[in-house]
């Protein structure tokens, strides 16, 4: 009843569904597109938060914000993978979609020397994060990992942001077609042995984040990781995205979790859940 009442009487609430018109569509990399729209609430989101995006006649899915402001503009980046994302990829400028949010616990930008590790489209929510970090004159090491050179995304945008502070960008590709051959977690091991960081931020495949977390734990450095799970409601009601053994919900208690919490989540790096809620190995 609380959520229903909010929807009925408080149109400025994040829970209130809004219809927005797509202002632009960008081919970000092979099989990946970014969609920009105008929505004041989304433009005031914090790095790491997500939207529930409704594709009319198809489905509603969670998508992290990859663009946050200015000018009341916001956007998300999506890989064509299933029915809903395939339908989204057919959308053009002027088409409409529905949104709710922004939802979730965001990243906490800190000053000092930071390490940012992103894999694949997991880089998307890290872009608004580094935009926030550079405002604090933070020193940033950014490690970006993708399967192949054709999958690189936001390279020019990342370089432009990082140019504002002392920084370095390290790129890995699984096949060695660009940068270092290997996974994003490979150079992290050496980086952590030679440097101390105030915080490590990571988003991408959970195996990558789990490996980064383990390496950070060995070196005694804190982590903020953005986890992904199958979501249905986005507001903590359905329990689809629950994490054992604490009963935490990724949509409500996350998606960003700190080292203190990650240590207690036995699912992290081991299990996820399918659409029926059944646990499956990652």
pLDDT in the model for residue 91 = 98
User: What are the Cα distances from residue 160, in Å, to 101, 164, 203?
Assistant: 28, 7, 20
Residue 218's Cβ-count burial label (10 Å; 0-12, 13-18, 19+) is exposed
Burial 10-22 (b: 16+ CB within 10 A, else e): eeeebbbebebeb
* CB 186, CB 143: distance < 8 Å: no
pLDDT of residue 275: 87
CB 122 within 8 A of CB 226: yes
pLDDT of the residue at 5: 40
In the block, tokens 């790129």 appear at 171
Phi/psi of residue 274, nearest 5 degrees: -85, -175
- pLDDT below 70 — which residues of the chain? 1-12
- CB count within 10 Å of CB 70 equals 8
Rounded-to-integer distance, Cα 123 and Cα 152, Å: 10
Position 13 scores a pLDDT of 76
Domains of the chain in start order, with CATH, are 2-103 (2.40.30.10), 113-281 (3.40.50.80)
pLDDT in tens, 158-211: 999 999 999 999 999 999 999 999 999 999 999 999 999 999 999 999 999 999
pLDDT value at residue 14 = 83
Do the beta carbons of residue 134 and residue 162 sit within 8 Å?
A: yes
The answer to whether the CB of 193 falls within 8 A of the CB of 170 is no
Q: What is the pTM of this model?
A: 0.93
Q: What is the pLDDT of residue 11?
A: 56
Rounded CA gap, 197 and 259, in Å?
14
- Largest Cα span, the chain: 55
Q: State how beta strands 271-273 and 279-281 pair.
A: antiparallel
pLDDT given at position 172: 97
pLDDT of 165: 96
Angle at alpha carbon of residue 103, lines to 98 and 106, rounded to 5°:
135
């Amino acid at each position: 009843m609380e959520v229903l009442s909010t929807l009925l009487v408080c149109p400025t609430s994040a829970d209130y569904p809004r219809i927005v018109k797509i202002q632009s569509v960008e081919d970000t990399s092979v099989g990946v597109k970014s969609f920009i729209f105008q929505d004041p609430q989304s433009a005031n989101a914090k790095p790491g938060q997500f939207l529930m995006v409704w594709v009319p006649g198809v489905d509603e899915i969670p998508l992290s914000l990859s663009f946050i402001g200015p000018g009341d503009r916001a956007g998300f980046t999506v890989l064509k993978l299933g029915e809903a994302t395939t339908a989204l990829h057919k959308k053009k400028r002027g088409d409409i979609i529905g949104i709710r949010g922004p939802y979730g616990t965001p990243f906490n930008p800190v000053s000092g020397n930071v390490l940012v590790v992103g894999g694949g489209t997991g880089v998307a929510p890290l872009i608004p994060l580094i935009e926030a970090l550079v405002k604090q004159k933070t020193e940033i090491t950014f490690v970006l990992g993708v399967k192949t050179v054709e999958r690189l995304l936001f390279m020019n945008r990342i370089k432009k942001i990082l140019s504002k502070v002392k920084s370095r960008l390290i790129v890995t590709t699984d096949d060695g077609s660009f940068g270092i051959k290997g996974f994003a977690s490979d150079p992290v091991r050496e980086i952590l042995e030679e440097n101390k960081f105030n915080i490590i931020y990571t988003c991408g495949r959970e195996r990558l984040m789990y490996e980064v977390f383990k390496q950070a734990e060995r070196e005694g450095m804190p982590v903020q990781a953005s986890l992904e799970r199958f979501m249905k409601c986005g507001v903590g009601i359905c329990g689809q995205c629950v994490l054992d053994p604490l009963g935490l919900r990724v949509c409500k208690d996350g998606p960003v979790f700190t080292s203190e919490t990650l240590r207690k989540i036995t699912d992290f790096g081991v299990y996820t859940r399918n659409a029926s809620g059944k646990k499956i190995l990652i």
